[in-house]
Amino acid sequence: MLRADYQIRFNCPAFLGDAEQQSAWRTPPFKALLQHWWRIAVAKQYNYDWQGMREAEGRLFGHAWLDNGSWAMRSRVRIKLIHCNQGGLTEWVKDDPKVKHPEVKFSIGSQLYLGYGPLDFKKGLKNSPAINANEENQLTLIYPEAADEELTHALQLIHLFGTLGGRSRNAWGSVELSATSVGATPLSRQTRLQGHDVLLNGNADLTRFQRSLKDCLTQEWPHAIGTDEKGMLIWKTEACTSWMAVMRKLAEVKIGYRTSLSVTKPFDERQVLALPVTRHTPKELKNDRLAGQMRSKIIQQKGRFIGLVFHLPCKIPVEVAGKLRHPDAQKLIASQEAIWRKVHAYLDLYLQRTGSK
């Protein structure tokens, strides 16, 4: 067994709910985050076969379902935080930079737009407290030596792209990792992670984690960072002085690419991006959910804050496509690539590409 110790820090507030819906440092979200990026780290070596990966995941992270549930095993990955304190953010600052939405009469708060749910128009922070920006903890992992390479890749992806908690796909709960020797043992594995500067300069080697947009859209689960003729589907904002300024930019960009899509009846292209869509969700889909594929993260670089927007493409499930008000579900699935290319074209206009060499 190997041990790895990392200092973990949030670059903006995080909404990690406990049983009382109050934010606190807890290990289950970190295990879920590690498993999510582990799947992307190993997807290619399993030829993107989710069934084979699922068994390997169960044997590493624990399961109660292999062989039709005839046997179970505990996780071989142990996770520890040095403390499990509540977050330090007890009241939301109401100075929320406003952004314009072409379909709304009044300007809206950028943080409220990207954090609606954990954030409330009247109450501010819906469930106090939350974990505040710059809060830190120490994360310790103990795992089999045979899994060292794949878990190191997963931790690298978390450092570059990982977010945690409510509305984390909108950059809330952006985390960063750094190797630390505090509390380490002689068996500890001090693995240094590539810095964000490598990613921002376009020199990151992410080849094993990328796949063409067309190929990604053959699978119904997020398994790779998409690419097109211009490179990886990763964009960056300009550097800002605070995470609040980046959040405003991310809100403007999200409003922009969503409203750039057609709303022609009987089908709204935005329904491909995520469900539900406010004011544009058919009654047949009121209980269905389609997680957003476009994700954001806020990183720190030399005292400045930068936003990342990236795409983990995957196909709309046939069951959902059949409920959308489109004349032909199969044609809708076939048209996904064209719809996503409209989103990418918008991002190319307003943000700068970054990613691999």
Indicate if 137 and 6 belong to the same structural domain. Answer: yes
Question: Which of these three, 69, 103, 125, is where a domain ends?
Answer: 125
pLDDT at 268: 78
What is the pLDDT, as a whole number, of residue 324?
72
For residue 73, the model assigns a pLDDT of: 85
| pLDDT recorded at residue 13 | 96
Same domain, 152 and 283: no
In sequence order, the 6+-apart residues with CB closer than 8 A to the CB of 223 are 39, 40, 43, 48, 50, 211, 216, 312, 314
Structural domain of 26 = 1-90+128-193
Q: In a 3-state reduction of DSSP, which class is residue 261?
A: coil
Strand partners for 116: 119
Rounded-to-integer distance, Cα 288 and Cα 253, Å: 25
- Residue at a domain's end among 149, 175, 193: 193
Euclidean distance between CA atoms 215 and 224, whole angstroms: 10
Residue 233 and residue 108 share a domain: no
Q: Is 279 helix (H, G, I), strand (E, B) or coil?
A: coil
Q: Is the domain of 164 the same as that of 302?
A: no
Q: Where are the alpha helices (DSSP H) in the chain?
A: 27-42, 50-61, 66-69, 110-115, 148-161, 196-200, 213-216, 243-259, 270-273, 318-321, 329-334, 336-350
In this structure, are 281 and 309 located in the same domain?
A: yes
pLDDT of res. 190? 61
Do residues 159 and 267 share a domain? no
140 neighbors 34 (Cβ within 8 angstroms): no
What does the pLDDT read at residue 185? 59
Q: What is the pLDDT of residue 1?
A: 87
Do residues 174 and 299 share a domain?
A: no
My answer on whether 303 and 330 are in the same domain is yes
The per-residue pLDDT for 357 is 56
Q: What is the pLDDT of residues 180-238, one digit of tens each?
A: 766 555 555 666 788 888 888 888 889 999 999 999 999 999 999 999 999 999 999 99
Q: Domain total for the chain? A: 3
pTM of the predicted structure, to 2 decimals: 0.93
User: Which portions of the chain are predicted below pLDDT 70?
Assistant: 69-70, 181-191, 265-266, 278-282, 284-285, 325-326, 329, 356-357
Q: Both 63 and 149 in a single domain?
A: yes
